[in-house]
Amino acid sequence: MTSFRSVVVCLLFSFFTFSFSAQAAEKEKASAPTAEREEKLKDLTEKVEAEKARQRDLQNKVKLLEKDLHGLKKELISATSNVQKNQKKLGELEAKLAELQKQKSDMLAKLTADRGSLASLIVALERIRRLPPDTLIARPGAPLDTANAATILGAILPELEKRAKDLKNQLAALQLVEDDLNKNREDLSKTTEKLRDDQKEMDALLDSRQKTYSKTRQEEKSQAATVAAISKEAQNFRELIEKIDRQNREARRKKMKLPPRNKKEVTPDDDVDERALAASLPALGSAQPPISGIIKTRYGEKDEIGATCQGIKFESRGGAVVVAPMGGVVRYAGPFKTYGSIILLEHKNKYHSLIAGLGKIDTFVGQSVDAGEPIGRLSSSTNGEKPRLYYELRFEGQPINPARKLADLGG
């Protein structure tokens, strides 16, 4: 009996021992994946936190770059303003020099002519002076001839004195013109040197702006490619504006995850789209002409081929700096049809600026520019004629008189 109990006890002990071992093994087996999952979760959490930190770091860097860009823009606008002032002064000095040079040429021509007639009078007087009085008296009809000679001399001498005085005054005036010419040449030289220094400063700031933008912009290449394709399809400025506007609106709606717009319906989403557009455009700022120069053709006037001008044509120095007339975003920059290189700017309140006649473009599609910020240079002179810049302001796609926004234009 005792032996049986011992066997039973042994069997029971073995059973419980086995059960306990099996449960422990099962528990250990179940806990292994949990630990692995926790480890993976920990790694993932660390990666998420690291990514968040990287994003914060990038945002801080972008903010710093935007701050740098804001400062650069202010410096650039100031430097550009100096360049424009000196370009204007240079143009005025060159015009004055040309006028003074013409005055000098006219004076010299008049002096040459007056000297000739004066010399003839002096020669005639000299001949009369050399005749002895006795000869005059002894000649036939002497008393009458002598009286006539005296009358002629009496008339000639005052005229001779007047011409001599005029000649003296002309010589004095010529000397003043010569002095003025020399002074203006000196001013021209100083202004040219100052302009060169200002342009160097402006170019350096433009380079800095370009480098700063290159660190922040991402969509420039795709935008440029899209608008380049659009420009080939568009037949005129109106089509170009409409097609680019449509493409930009759809891109914004996609970014904001709004449904494609139905042209026949106006939905609350359209208001969201309009508000997003308004928020994406910079302030108009202090409106100003796009270039410092002379207005050759105003809005509504007939141009050189007899067509009604839908904008304004400016004449200026070759290579003169061209600025944004108002704050806006560059929607197109490049060649278009027969207009050469153009820039299309979109402004707030449904305004667009079209600028044509550029020799160099210093901006890119998608760039946000402030009023007075440089965006390009005028083309060079051809055949001795000063180059011209064409500026057109449009409201809701239609050309309007730029004088409505740009007070400096008058008219």
pLDDT in tens, 331-365: 999 999 888 999 999 999 889 999 999 999 999 88
- What span, in angstroms and rounded, lies between the C-alpha atoms of 67 and 335? 32
Sequence-ordered strand ranges (E) for 23-88? none
User: Which domains are assigned to the chain?
Assistant: 69-216 (1.10.287), 220-409 (2.70.70.10)
- What span, in angstroms and rounded, lies between the C-alpha atoms of 391 and 204? 27
**pLDDT of 129:** 60
- What span, in angstroms and rounded, lies between the C-alpha atoms of 370 and 284? 8
Q: What tokens appear for 43 in the block?
A: 């790694």
pLDDT in tens, 153-180: 566 667 777 777 777 787 888 888 888 8
Nearest one of 80, 73, 62 to 210, comparing CA atoms:
73
Query: Which SS3 state, helix, strand or coil, does residue 273 take?
Result: helix
Name the burial class of residue 42, with classes exposed (0-12), middle (13-18) and buried (19+) by CB atoms within 10 angstroms of its CB: exposed
**pLDDT of 343:** 96
The series of mean pLDDT values per 10 residues for the chain, 411 residues long, is 45 46 52 68 70 64 68 84 87 86 84 72 64 54 55 66 77 84 86 86 85 66 73 82 82 64 48 53 82 93 91 93 93 90 93 94 90 92 85 92 77 45
Cα angle for residues 386, 390, 393 (degrees, 5° grid):
155
Give strand pairing partners of 394: 352, 399
**Distance from CA of residue 326 to its chain's centroid?**
10
Cα angle for residues 66, 68, 73 (degrees, 5° grid):
90
- The backbone torsions φ and ψ at residue 386, rounded to the nearest 5 degrees and listed phi first, read -70, 140
The number of residues making up the chain comes to 411
